[in-house]
Amino acid sequence: MAYTLFYSPGSANLAPHMALREIGAPVELVLVDKDKGEQRNPDYLRLNPTGRIPTLLDGGTPVFENAAILLYLTEKHPEAGLAPLPGTPDRARFLALLFHLTNTLQPELRTFFYPEQHAADPSRVEEVKGVAERRLAGMYALLDRELGEGPFLLGGRISVADFLLFMLVRWGRFLAERPAQLPNLGRFAAAMMERPSVRAAFAAEGLREPWY
């Protein structure tokens, strides 16, 4: 049975979409048109009460929130080896980085993209955006150091955290200091873009250059 992934091109669904392609699992994509507000439709809210994208449907079971979807996929497909096993030395680093990306970096990007949602006074919107951009520069610099020569966050093995990191590096292309300009993140992004799973996901979502 194929998974169903509710998506909007290039949105947060991109990380689990790439992971699904890496696993080789069949997936049916269902477009959620944000311009039409389809993420607020009652049928979608029954699957994902947050009204955000993505949602993964496994049979009749919906899963939402990126980190939850990615962990769910590693548990459903342990043969893919996209997460260290519980109790192994790499597991702690894997979990810490996965949740840092989804709890710290991704929300700061949301502040940058939607500063008006974080400023009660419209005259402060640009200030909010500027502060977010400065904070993001520090976050990406930290990740560049943590990645090191990699090639992946866990060294020589790829994990679902790498797909989330690549998606967030891609989102950073709108910053004045693009994260892909950093040496380690730039090398990482170029290598990820060469993976067949990544190219397949980009093609299926209709994404075009610049990739990152």
Please give the pLDDT value at position 1. 78
* Cβ 2 vs Cβ 26: under 8 Å: yes
* Cβ 108 vs Cβ 135: under 8 Å: yes
Which backbone phi and psi does 69 adopt, to 5 degrees? -65, -45
Mean pLDDT of all residues in the chain?
Answer: 97
Please tell me the distance from the alpha carbon of residue 143 to that of residue 141, in angstroms, as a whole number. 5
Q: Using CB atoms within 10 A of its CB, is residue 189 exposed (0-12), middle (13-18) or buried (19+)?
A: buried
CA distances from 1 to 58, 71, 149, 160, 163 (A): 8, 19, 39, 22, 23
Residue 152 DSSP code: B
Please tell me the distance from the alpha carbon of residue 5 to that of residue 62, in angstroms, as a whole number. 10
Domains detected in the chain? 3-80 (3.40.30.10), 89-195 (1.20.1050.10)
At 185-208, the pLDDT tens digits run: 999 999 999 999 999 999 999 999
Please give the pLDDT value at position 117. 95
At 58-84, the pLDDT tens digits run: 999 999 999 999 999 999 999 999 999
* Cβ 67 vs Cβ 56: under 8 Å: no
Enter the tokens of residue 9: 């091109």
CA atoms within 13 A on the CB side of 170: 23
